[in-house]
Chains A and B, each alone.
Chain A
Amino acid sequence: MAKLILKNVFKRYDDRKKKKGGKLADFAVNDLTITCSDGEFVGILGPSGCGKTTTLRMVAGLEEITAGEIYIDDTLINHLHPKDRGIGLAFEDYALYPPLTVYDNIAFNLRAKKMSEADIKKEVMRIAPLMKVEELLDMKPAALSGGQKQRVNITRALVRRPKLLLLDEPLSHLDGKMRQILRTELKRLHKEVGCTTIIVTHDQLEAMSLSDKICIMKDGLLQQFGTPYEVYDDPVNVFVAGFIGEPPMNLNKVTITEEDNILYFSFPESSVKIAVPSKYTKVLKTGRHVTLGIRPNDLLIAEDGSPVKIAVFENLGDEKRIGIRIGDEYLTLITSDETLYKQGDIIRIKVHEEKTHIFDIETGDKIRA
């Protein structure tokens, strides 16, 4: 149980500095400041190469910190040896010790602490049921499936009684079904153990379903840090808006036009217009180009809407995804409507105007009323 604080943390790899001359963009992690409260489940989310694993490894002590401070429970851990930081780390590719049995793998850390064999046995037996690995204890890692290896890997991290549990892409090498099962187990595990947990992932669904708070990174920079609801409902920029949500938010370039004293978002090469919500009327001027963000489920099929042509129709069973074209722009909408459309059909759509997001076309930042 612990609180984790990262204060203005930077990371730069030396070989990058030499190659590119040490520009600011070369930081693998750039001025990262986040606070994880006791018992929280925090997801670090971002595309590959965004610095999320580097961040985790700095917390674990496997990477040196170029600048900044990391605290666990008010103790500065920058120069503490990994084993003294009170963390448990589950590696991405499991990193089990191949010559040892699962039992010995789990007991490995306890042996380092010179615990008696009887106590080790007690401890392993206490932890093993949590991740359901009792059956596997006599097996060698080579005989395990991917899912089983990951269970053992996490068990091994837990047996250290960590104040902080770090999970590095724990589900990314598993197949779809196993991934779902283990995801649920992770959630249950966190409830049972209650230890502060950080999970690194590139899968937004994983982050959304597991985390209490999500930290979204891109190119080493923190984009947004908030609850899953916040990052979904109020993304700070185009990147977060496009990253969270499946299917992703429709992000289209529109122009502000005025007609009878009412402002509209107008799609280029099209007559389709969407009224600008009244709260934005003060910040938007006629003629300005902005990026309009509409979640696929905020686009509605309605009798009194504007006619558009269907470009793609996907029937996923319980939901249908319809790809439509408005002028040059492509949008996706989700409906649970029973009607089966086909390509080329004309449907009428309306937009949940209050739920639209607008972003500056240059900076990508959200424009707020």
Chain B
Amino acid sequence: MFSENQSLLSRLIQNLLLIIYSIFALFPLFWMALITFKSDLQMFNTTFFFTPTLDNYKAVLIGTDYIKTFIDNVIVSGGAVLVSVIAGVPAAYALARFNFKYKEDLAFTILSFKFAPEILVILPLFMIYQKLHLYDTYLGLIWVYQLITMPLLIWVVRGYFEDISVEVEQAAELDGYPWYSVFWKILLPLIKPGLVASALLAFIFAWNSFTFSLQLSGFNIQTVTVASLRYIASDTVHYGQMAVAATIAALPEVILALLIQKHLVRGLSFGAVKG
């Protein structure tokens, strides 16, 4: 980031600006974490010093079935990404390698799933899901989450496949390997950065999804985003408990993002422009 010949002063200024920006960007997260330890009485004051309490955590984790919604969210988001990987990688391969009629139109259609706001399709989907008994099921949510996860995965991985020379595959074929070992031994390691980055990003998008899970589930299955709403009671809003729910919900994403940030930038920027 910083080249050798930059003066000390300009480096200082750059760092200072970055620090100010990170404080600005991270403050909401910090504040959210802070108020999880506040009692409802202290909620609206802006002091940083107060008597911390774990009551909010107790109320959320023991008082409600928050842990179940958390697990539901893992199942639904993880399942959605898994299905996207299993179906999306071959689709990306086909779009990268084979020439068929309306190929680009098909690729664009897949991408266009991300254009429309979810609210636009929710009503017909709701009716269809009621009829098909997919409403409020894991399968139903995993299926509809494909709209979120699949386009991203296909487009990133497709770029990676396009960068791999066809001759590499042909060489492996000449070597006498069946296609699945060619895929496993040669192609998979090459697309891995893109696959990992896009799958994790898709996971985060699915994890944060609100509209679909709000409308298409509710009784048996509840995701963390929807569950956070429960702390708005008829008499008062339990901001502390809501903050606990949101903090716990954000934790996996923060941890994931920290773990993969290097891959994320490389994986998403490398594929398309590498060749």
Contacts and interface: CB of A to CB of B under 8 A. Distances in A.
Interface of A: 15, 60-62, 82-83, 87-89, 91-93, 95-99, 108-109, 112-113, 156, 160
A91 B170 contact: yes
B222 to A, nearest CB: 42
Contact of B189 (A61, A91, A92, A99): A99
Contacts of B176: 83, 109, 112-113
B172 interface: yes
Q: Which 3 A-B pairs have the closest CB atoms?
A: A95-B167, A83-B176, A99-B189
B174 A108 contact: no
B177 interface: yes
B177 A93 contact: no
Contact of B171 (A61, A97, A99): A97
Interface of B: 99, 165, 167-168, 170-177, 185-186, 189-190
A109 B175 contact: yes
Given A99-B186, A99-B190, A93 B167 contact: yes
Given A82-B173, A93-B167, A96-B171, 4 more contacts: A83-B173, A89-B174, A91-B171, A95-B167
Contacts of A91: 167, 170-171
Chain A CB count within 10 A is highest, among B170, B175, B176, B177, for: B175
B103 to A, nearest CB: 13
A357 B89 CA distance: 61
A82 B174 CA distance: 5
Contacts of B99: 15
A60 B172 contact: no
A95 B175 contact: no
A351 B99 CA distance: 56
A289 to B, nearest CB: 47
Given A98-B190, A99-B189, A99-B190, A112 B175 contact: yes
A87 B171 CA distance: 11
Contact of A95 (B168, B185, B189, B190): B168
Nearest to B182: A97
A112 B189 CA distance: 18
A99 B176 CA distance: 18
